[in-house]
Amino acid sequence: MKKHNFSAGPSILPQEVLLKSSEAIMDYNNTGLSLIEISHRSKEFVEIMENAKSLALDLLGLKDKGYQALFLQGGASGQFLMTAMNLLEKKAGFLNTGAWSTKAIKEAKLFGDIQEVASSADANFNYIPKGYEVASDLDYFHCTSNNTIFGTQIKSFPKTSVPMVCDMSSDIFSRVIDYSQFDILYAGAQKNMGPAGTTLVVVKEDILGKVSRQIPSLLDYKKQIAAGSMFNTPPVFAVYTSMLTLEWLKSKGGVAGIEEENEKKATLMYSEIDLNPLFTGFAAKEDRSNMNATFNLADDSLKDTFDSMLKEAGISAVNGHRSVGGYRASMYNALPLDSVKALVEVMSELEAKA
């Protein structure tokens, strides 16, 4: 049985992408060589890298607007460090909405003063703070657009007079927003783009070169841009698979097209959570994520029965993070609506049995 894969990451990829990438492992583009055997300096891979970067900017609506796309390594965790190293001279502001922003704050404190402009830690991060002010004397403001663990998502970003940096690891390319409001955005590939191993970073070039510190070459955005994301050997398979996924997304109508599908999945999922008395949602309704629906059983005595029914239906990876408990349905771009229907059907069947 083909499983319904709700993994929070690494997560589901389009079937056609898996097929094409697996073929490239054996023979890339009829070269007689595997994709992972060819030089990253070869014409073939340079074309892959340039296409991947161009597609990313195009899909985000940032082409010819002063931005550069990079495919780097180190995940979002590496960017917690790299953004601060490149931008933080004296003081930065952070919106603390969960585990990942907490970790980003910890890394940034190595380079300057950090102002926590608002936090939802008081309610175990089940909501997005609102009504806060972003000071004008900050070097930059950092936020996390979607919180995978807690199932919250920023629906409206603040207007700032300072550069805005956003960790979009779990909802990039999933919804139409004005991406030009961000000066740097970054995302690990393993949710909506490709396999683990590469991180997309989109940088507005005119904010660079303003800190007084010497930046190590590998961590310097300007040097990475000059080297075309190939200052060191890039993760060729992860970049190639990300390129295929971006091509797939473009064929689906781009970000606008996939947003329609994501809205259908989220509406169906949250309707069942709200209407079924056996389940309670974790995140505040107005801040619910379209990517990660977090919910709990109202009666824990039903857990074994529910888990058994999920397994029998071929539904995989819906256990919640230990910080929240319960369940989490991750509904990234590649997850089909039919998988959400299968999960909702099991939840409905549990109600009928209870």
What's the rounded Cα separation, in Å, for the pair 118 and 122?
11
Q: pLDDT for 177-236, tens place per residue? A: 999 999 999 999 999 999 999 999 999 999 999 999 999 999 999 999 999 999 999 999
pLDDT at 323 over 90: no
Average pLDDT on 69-94 reads 98
> What are the angstrom distances between the C-alpha of 5 and each of 144, 310, 315, 319?
24, 11, 6, 12
- pLDDT of 350 reads 98
% of the chain at pLDDT higher than 90: 98
The domains of the chain, with CATH numbers, are 15-251 (3.40.640.10), 254-353 (3.90.1150.10)
Output phi, psi for 188, to 5 deg: -65, 145
- pLDDT of 73 reads 97
- pLDDT of 259 reads 98
The separation between the first and the last C-alpha atoms of the chain, rounded to the nearest angstrom, is 27
Q: Could you tell me which residues are beta bridge partners of residue 186?
A: 167, 201
pLDDT at 1 over 90: no
Most distant CA pair in the chain, distance: 65
**Interacting residues of 346 by C-beta distance below 8 A, sequence separation 6+:** 306, 309, 310, 313, 315
What's the rounded Cα separation, in Å, for the pair 234 and 198?
8
Helix then strand count (H, E) for the chain reads: 9, 14
Q: pLDDT for 20-63, tens place per residue? A: 999 999 999 999 999 999 999 999 999 999 999 999 999 999 99
What's the rounded Cα separation, in Å, for the pair 134 and 137?
9
Eight-class DSSP state of 247: H
Residue given tokens 């299968």 in the structure block: 342
Average pLDDT on 99-117 reads 97
- pLDDT of 109 reads 98
What residues act catalytically? Answer: 100, 167, 191
- pLDDT of 188 reads 97
H helix or E strand, kind and range, residue 285: none
Going by C-alpha positions, the residue among 22, 56, 23 that lies closest to residue 202 is 56
- pLDDT of 34 reads 97
Eight-class DSSP state of 255: H
pLDDT at 290 over 90: yes
- pLDDT of 266 reads 98
**Banded model confidence at residue 354, pLDDT cuts 50, 70, 90:** confident
**Banded model confidence at residue 2, pLDDT cuts 50, 70, 90:** confident
Mean of the per-residue pLDDT values of the chain: 97
